[in-house]
A and B are shown apart, each in its own frame.
Chain A
Amino acid sequence: MYRQTEGMGEKRRKRHCRFCENKISQVDYRDERLLKRFVTERGKIIPRRISGSCARHQRILTVAIKRARHLAILPYVAETFK
């Protein structure tokens, strides 16, 4: 597998964990506004190779998203488009 490098049009931005930067250690599973940004339109959890979260925070985030799904704050599957 090849990594896209510079010169392919867009420059590769360095990924960084947004939670580490803001020193957040807990993620509230009721915070829909925050969690929504880490799932796709369909409701899938965005992998950390895309979002740039560190392993620890991705783990915390994943648990929070799953709890939110149980409480119908986030959908398990969103059929917003076909």
Chain B
Amino acid sequence: MQLYDSTFILNPQAEESNFDAQIKEAVELIARYGGKLVHENRFGMRRLAYEIQHLTQGYYVSLVYEGTGDVVKELERHFRLSEHVVRFLTTIYQQPEGAVDEILAAVPEQGIAAANLDEGGENEA
């Protein structure tokens, strides 16, 4: 069986908004279709980079689980129908490795040569 990682954004303004209940529902659904939850990660409230359904904030949750494609299919169907889920993404889980801290230290925060790329497109002669 494959390991999957489903990240989704919950709507904090939906009626009867209860993050715990929504997450529990998803976890139960995974179990119902023969999947096994490996890890639950709540990133919490985060600002959205752009508005989705007139929202500027969302509650980010990620579930890592083991299962067949049927679990993914049903979980995504559930997300699509749910009014509480504003966005979701399922990927094959990949174990993170290596330290990103050194890159963070080496690269300036504004990005590499950020300025002249945005001015009139490419900087080729």
Which residues does A use to contact B, with CB under 8 Å? 1-2, 18-19, 21-26, 28-31, 33-34, 36-42, 44, 46-47, 50-51, 67, 69-76, 78
Given A22-B102, A40-B111, A50-B117, A67:B91 Cβ within 8 A = yes
Main secondary structure, interface of A, reads: loop
CA distance A50 to B46 in the complex (A): 30
Main secondary structure, interface of B, reads: mixed
**Cβ-neighbour of B114 out of A41, A67, A76 (below 8 A):** A41
B117 CB contacts on chain A under 8 angstroms: 40, 44, 46-47, 50
**Cβ-neighbour of B104 out of A26, A34, A39, A73 (below 8 A):** A34
**Cβ-neighbour of A44 out of B49, B60, B94, B118 (below 8 A):** B118
A19 CB contacts on chain B under 8 angstroms: 98, 103
Tell me if A76 and B50 are in contact (CB < 8 A). Answer: yes
**Cβ-neighbour of A37 out of B50, B52, B103, B118 (below 8 A):** B103
A50 CB contacts on chain B under 8 angstroms: 112-113, 117
Given A30-B7, A70-B87, A72-B52, A22:B100 Cβ within 8 A = yes
B52 CB contacts on chain A under 8 angstroms: 72
Task: Kindly report which residue of chain A lies nearest to residue B108, judged by CB atoms.
Answer: A37
Cβ-based interface call for B110 (8 A):
yes
Given A44-B117, A67-B91, A37:B49 Cβ within 8 A = no
**Cβ-neighbour of A51 out of B9, B96, B112, B124 (below 8 A):** B112
B46 CB contacts on chain A under 8 angstroms: 73
